[in-house]
Amino acid sequence: MNLGNLRESYTQASLNKKQVNIDPLDQFSEWFKDARNAKLKEPNAMNLSTVDAEGQPSVRTVLLKSIADDGFVFYTNYKSRKSVNISLNSKVALHFLWLPLERQVSIQGTAEKISQEDSLSYFLSRPRGSQLGAWVSDQSREISSKELLVEKMNALLDKFGDGEIPIPEFWGGFKVKPNKIEFWQGGEDRLHDRIEYFQGLEGNWKIRRLCP
């Protein structure tokens, strides 16, 4: 299959250092608002890359659930593959792709668990089915059939009835604290705009333009 002629031309907008906010999280929030206003499906979907004990990278899509003053928060099973990888190597990467806006955001940083209180607060805000789903799935473990998941779900429905569903001790949030964030705006003739924020020695944010 030859895909050499499969390409798009990007002409919607441009990006320069004078346009962007001093703080990259403020800039991200501005772009995220644009993605929501454009009614993109799940604009908070992001690729999360981790590395295992053998140095093998893996990537999967998770959902951004909040933007803190110092990072990006998502939730997962603490026994999942991604969580095990993070426990071994906290360096991770995030990536957002908003093609209808001809934009990408790439993030490098370190992941750490958030507080139990914050995890519980979010867990209680989830739909009941999602709360049960956190209990049902031994995430990333092999299973012989989906029917076993359905059986476990039905058993939990009987167990909890109409009562409150407690948060599993193996479930909670991670915050990715960035040290580098790149904003990419597609440009005509592949002259894309790439504005990168990186942390200086003093921990303050600096901004530079990268070649496309």
Question: pLDDT tens for residues 98-144?
Answer: 999 999 999 999 999 999 999 999 999 999 999 999 999 888 888 88
- Please check whether residue 206 lies inside any domain of the structure: yes
Say whether 197 sits in a helix, a strand or coil. Answer: strand
| Residue 111 identity (one-letter amino acid) | A
- Please check whether residue 152 lies inside any domain of the structure: no
What residue ranges in the chain does DSSP mark as E strands?
45-51, 57-63, 66-68, 71-77, 91-98, 103-113, 171-185, 193-199, 205-210
- Please check whether residue 194 lies inside any domain of the structure: yes
For residue 58, give the CATH number of its domain.
2.30.110.10
- Please check whether residue 94 lies inside any domain of the structure: yes
- Please check whether residue 158 lies inside any domain of the structure: no
Number of domains in the chain: 1
Question: Quick one: tokens of 1?
Answer: 């299959």
Residues with active-site annotation: 190
- Please check whether residue 3 lies inside any domain of the structure: no
The rounded distance, in Å, linking the Cα atoms of 95 and 97 is 7
Residue 33: domain span = 24-126+169-210
Read off the pTM: 0.93
pLDDT in tens, 38-49: 999 999 999 999
